[in-house]
Structures are given as C-alpha cells and as structure tokens.
C-alpha cells in the first residue's frame, strides 16, 4: 500500500507541510507533478487527514497544560458531555478510555483561577483526578 517514498513524503510533510511539491520532490527523487500526484493519493486514501500548524499555546497565554481523568458516578454521561462541549476554549481533546476512569481530558488553561472555575463546574457532573504537565 505505502512504499518507502510515501513514508518519506509523510515524514517531510510532518516536518514542514508548506514545502513546495518541487522541493519535496527533490527530497524523494521525483519531479514536482509526480510528487503532487502521490500526495493527492495520500489525501484521497485518508492517510493525510489535513494540513495544520503547531501553535505555541503558552504564547497565547494558555500556560497550564493538564490531563484530567474523569470518573462519572451516573450512568448517564450526557450532562457531562454537553458540559465539555461548552468548554472548547480549554479543551484540546476528550478521549473515552478503558482502564482507570471513563474519559481522559487534555486541557490548556490561561490561569489557575480559570482552571479552578472549570474544575468546580466539572465537579457538578463528574469526579476527576488532575495531573498537571511540568515538562514534555
């Protein structure tokens, strides 16, 4: 399905998705159009889901990076799920997990105050365990 050239293309696009097809072609020993055709195939097959940027969230003021394990008491998760939908400004991701807890939230907060407020509102719907990221 994917050969070494495709893997190399994915690798290079991961490092710099704004590279020109011509330049990417040079890295994988193909011409621009050939490279472009391969990239289009990777898009169509769904291997490449999209092109995006890495944003330094700390520079936008979101300095606190937290993982929150959610334990819902109730069997009805809807109140919890609709609550987190209202908190998209903080949420990076919400994962349903097996193991310890029901969900794992990855969040970024600009201050302890706003995190505290979030946690208080969260507590109306579920219990949680908080882990703060110190370093990556």
Contact 84, 94 (CB under 8 A): yes
Shortest distance in whole angstroms from residue 112 CB to a second copy = 13
Nearest to DNA of 10, 34 (CB atom): 34
Q: 45: burial class by Cβ within 10 Å (0-12, 13-18, 19+)? A: exposed
Q: Which among DNA, a second copy, none contacts residue 30 (Cβ within 5 to 8 A by kind)?
A: DNA
| Stretch 37-76: interaction string toward a second copy, x if CB under 8 A | --------xxxxxxxxxxxx--xx----x-x-x-------
Rg over CA atoms, the chain: 20
- Provide the binding-site residues for DNA, judged by CB under 7 A: 5, 20-23, 25, 29-34, 36-38
Could you tell me the two tokens for 71?
């334990």
């Amino acid at each position: 399905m994917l050969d070494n050239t495709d893997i190399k293309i994915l690798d290079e696009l991961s490092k710099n998705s704004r590279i020109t097809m011509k330049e990417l072609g040079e890295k994988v020993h193909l011409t621009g159009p050939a490279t472009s055709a391969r990239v289009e195939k990777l898009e169509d097959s769904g291997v490449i889901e999209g092109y995006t940027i890495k944003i330094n969230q700390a520079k936008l003021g979101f300095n606190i990076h937290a993982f929150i394990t959610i334990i819902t008491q109730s069997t009805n998760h809807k109140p919890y799920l609709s609550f987190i939908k209202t908190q998209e400004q903080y949420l990076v991701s919400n994962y349903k997990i097996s193991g310890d807890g029901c969900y794992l939230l990855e969040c970024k907060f600009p201050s302890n105050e706003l995190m505290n407020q979030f946690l208080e509102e969260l507590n109306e719907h579920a219990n949680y365990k908080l882990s703060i990221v110190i370093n990556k």
